[in-house]
Amino acid sequence: MKLSNIFSNDEWKQLKKIEDLPQSERTIVFYAENLASINHFREIITELTEKRNLPICYVTSVKDDPILFSKNKKIKSFYIGDGTARTKFFLTLNTKILLMDMPDLNNFHIKRSKAYPVHYIYIFHSIFSVHSYLRKGAIDNFDTIFCVGKHHVNEIQATEKTYDLKPKKLIEYGFGRIDTLLKNKTLEKNSNTSNRIIIAPSYGENNLLEVCGISLINLLLKANFKVLLRPHFKTLKDSKKLISKILHKFENDPNFNFEKGIISNEKLNDSLCMISDWSGISFEYSLVFEHQVIFIDVPKKIQNPNFNDISLEPIEISFRKKLGSVISPDNIDQIPEIIKNKKETDQNKKIKTLGSELIFNIGESAKIGADFIQQIIMSKNHQ
């Protein structure tokens, strides 16, 4: 299917098509804010549509969202953009259930429906702690939270107690992204890329790419490593001068690869090591592929300046040293030697057990989520 066929109608016409759907085809609605959203929806959408034969409505703000090209007849998909048509979509939504991985519902311009008592479910797009990586109040206006692990349950309950909030329904769900990676993981590695180092920074003015990115890439290439750089999608938008500078300097080097989108499972599997700072992908990579990560210790981006109101240490801090090495930006010259001396150690073996400690229902999150959704659908009072 050609892009021109999908986008021949503008976003308002797409909205009209959503509104004209029979109620049976928009009982369950997914909203995808960005290209990464499908990573967290894929398993549960498959469970609902292919295994349980349930129809869903999929609304996205991503023009090249792969679901728009799906041949699955149980999925009605629509591109809504990120402008006023999207704002109206949320305000006038008439459905039983909306699932989304975009936080801050009802806090800014994206509001709960004024037309119908929709049941809103939040799906986390990171393993990281609620009170440290999301803004204060980011998930307070959802009805149900699909929690990744016990830390999310504890953090949300502590937040509700601290701020005297109405308790939400907390489901011991898991993490769909981990399930997808594990499902597609292979034991074989490509020998041609066995010395590939993946650099996957977070975003913000102090991310490793801003602080020491060019020096790090140069260092690794000189040490005869292959380098795959995947900047955060927000960095691609906000730091175009830096990205242009990096590409100008390295794009002609055959050992340098630049990734704008999602890193494929094959590339993750075939790599030797990941270098990150505070990016959630570092935990996913380590727990699935059982490799240590080198964390560049740049200042952590704080979304919630009041996070200390909750007296629980964020897991992205407490688990870093369990998953790898933490290196100062001033000491990156040590990294090639650390990688070359990297061996299968007790720490690598411990990584295998950390997944179940951090994440509920590994391999089964979609089933847990679909069971809950069906309960809501069958419930007379779904709120």
- Residue 108, both tokens: 């800014």
Give the per-residue pLDDT at 331. 97
* Region(s) of the chain under CATH 3.40.50.2000: 189-358
Cα 98 to its chain centre, rounded Å, is: 18
Is the pLDDT reported for residue 342 higher than 90? no
List of residues 6+ apart from 102 with CB closer than 8 A: 31, 33, 37, 110
pLDDT digits (tens, 9 = 90+) for 27-58: 999 999 998 899 999 999 999 999 999 999 99
Give the per-residue pLDDT at 359. 97
| Spatial contact of 278 and 175, defined as CB atoms under 8 Å apart | no
Question: What is the arithmetic mean of pLDDT over 190-209?
Answer: 86
pLDDT digits (tens, 9 = 90+) for 221-253: 999 999 999 999 889 989 999 999 999 999 999
Do the strands 256-258 and 226-229 form a parallel or antiparallel pair, or are they unpaired?
Answer: parallel
Task: Output the pTM of the full model.
Answer: 0.90
Question: What is the arithmetic mean of pLDDT over 200-205?
Answer: 92
Give the per-residue pLDDT at 6. 47
CATH number among 2.30.30, 1.10.287, 3.40.50, 1.25.10, domain 3-175+362-378 = 3.40.50
CATH number for the domain running over 189-358: 3.40.50.2000
Residue 381 binned pLDDT confidence (cut-offs 50, 70, 90): low
Q: What is the DSSP string of 52-118?
A: S---EEEEES-TT-GGGG---TTEEEEE--SSHHHHHHHHT---SEEEES---TTTSS----SSS--
Give the per-residue pLDDT at 189. 65
- Residue 199, both tokens: 């650099």
Cα 231 to its chain centre, rounded Å, is: 14
Q: How far apart are CA 109 and CA 81, in angstroms?
A: 14
Give the per-residue pLDDT at 352. 73
3-state secondary structure of 193: helix
Question: What is the arithmetic mean of pLDDT over 313-325?
Answer: 92
